[in-house]
Structure 1
Amino acid sequence: MSSLSISCDTNSLNPVECELIPCTINYTGQAKVTSYFKPTISETGPSKYSASFRGKPLDGIDLPLDSDTIGVVCEKTFGSLDTIKLKPIGTFDKIRAWNWDSKPSSNDVHVQALQWLKISSSIHDPISPQRLLEEEEKSKEN
């Protein structure tokens, strides 16, 4: 069974912008994204954007991470033949997600993935005895 563990001092990492663009590019390596991809703020509202990529119109929205979540961008480095290491290179507190065929909505997979982080902690976090007693008292009042 594989496992992943990332341990780093996130205070020493520089903030970076994280963008999800609906495309596949057959290239591996550094890219000067900021030189070629310059979104402009849409007039439709706050945190909503429009841009184009290779002639395709894109609509984007900022998806903030919860205050207790830190996004980390990692670079893959290789150790021995059977070891892959991840080197943290930056942090982010929001993801800008783009669609080319529809307006961003709560039905988007990346929006639902961020919602799942909240839901999964509610399902899997342990409940303290104190909280259990509080919930029982609330149910008796109703």
Structure 2
Amino acid sequence: MTSLKMDENVLKNPLPEGSVQFLPFSIKFNGETQISERFSSQTQHSKQKQCLVNTFRGYPLEGEVLQAPAGYTGVVLDTGRQGLTEEKSNIRVVGSFPSFTYWNYDKVPGETDNYRQAVQWIKVAEALHESD
């Protein structure tokens, strides 16, 4: 069984706008780096593509700022895991956010993205529960 630990101040004090990025890859790095200087400051808006553009290690990224679904708040979790297969029974909520920047590899974000499709299930589930 997994337990989730959260201080209520995490929800009262969300992370600053633009500090949460959903990237289409994982990074095998555990430590601090200069995200603002090395990544965030390089983000631009492309009028041609009508989205945000950036690169990571030479790979083109296209993105947009998305809001959490109405009535929901995003959270940042610290699992304490070193690998994907290691199970963890205690997870801490270390941050919350109302919006985040969603990135794709060399593809403008759209309705066919996995995240957007997952959010659609929230609406389906709410509609099903309303009919009970």
Q: So what's the TM-score if we normalise by structure 1?
A: 0.67
- The equivalences for 1:47-58 within 5 A come to 48-58=51-61
Separation of aligned partners in 2, 1:94 and 1:44? 24
Q: So what's the TM-score if we normalise by structure 2?
A: 0.71
Separation of aligned partners in 1, 2:49 and 2:88? 46
Once the two structures are aligned, what percentage of the paired residues are identical? 22
Q: Structure 2 unaligned runs (5+)?
A: 82-86
- Alpha-carbon offset, residue 35 of structure 1: 2.6
Task: Return closer, same or farther for 1:44/1:91 CA change in 2, 3 Å cut-off.
Answer: farther
Q: Structure 1 unaligned runs (5+)?
A: 129-142
Separation of aligned partners in 2, 1:127 and 1:23? 39
RMSD of aligned residue pairs (Cα, Å): 2.8
Write the deviation string for residues 66-94 of structure 1: whole angstroms up to 9, x where unpaired.
Answer: 2310111122359xxx9632222221112
1:113 to 104, 118, 123: 118
1:86 counterpart = 2:88: no
Q: Helix, strand or coil for the counterpart of 1:35?
A: helix
Moved over 4 A (4+): 3-8
Q: 1:14 maps to which residue?
A: 14
User: Is the helix fraction higher in 1 or 2?
Assistant: 1
Decide which structure has the larger Cα Rg and report it: 1
- 2:77 maps to a residue whose letter is C
